[in-house]
Amino acid sequence: MAFLATFVGVGKYIDPDIRDLVGCTRDATALHALFADTFPDSKPNLLIDYYATAANIRKALQETLGAATSDDVVIFSFSGHGSHDHRLAASEPTL
């Protein structure tokens, strides 16, 4: 059994219509550190702020889920804005 994880924290947005958030990057970084310390054989992904583009989030999610077997535990954590139509707001553009 493997533990596979991706932690995303978007506090800074390229789109000026989306206000920046305080704490999202810190939350994702703390969860990533906790997971990496608790499961030393794991290699969790961390995407924060301008690295958390729609393309990078999509790629990390596909890689995390794609590497999983039925015996594995998968965690995908997102801290940031969402939309009224249930989409995640990446650093740029919206997922």
Tell me the CB-side half-sphere exposure of residue 88, using CA atoms within 13 A. 20
User: What does the domain layout of the chain look like in residue ranges?
Assistant: 3-79
pLDDT, tens digit (0-9, with 9 covering 90-100), for 64-95:
999 999 999 999 999 999 888 888 888 876 44
Tokens of 72: 């594995």
Global confidence as pTM: 0.88
Tokens of 77: 């954590």
In which element (H, E) is residue 3 found? strand 3-9
Q: Coil, strand or helix: which one is 68?
A: coil
pLDDT, tens digit (0-9, with 9 covering 90-100), for 31-61:
999 999 998 888 899 999 999 999 999 999 9
Backbone phi, then psi, for 46, in 5-degree steps? -135, 120
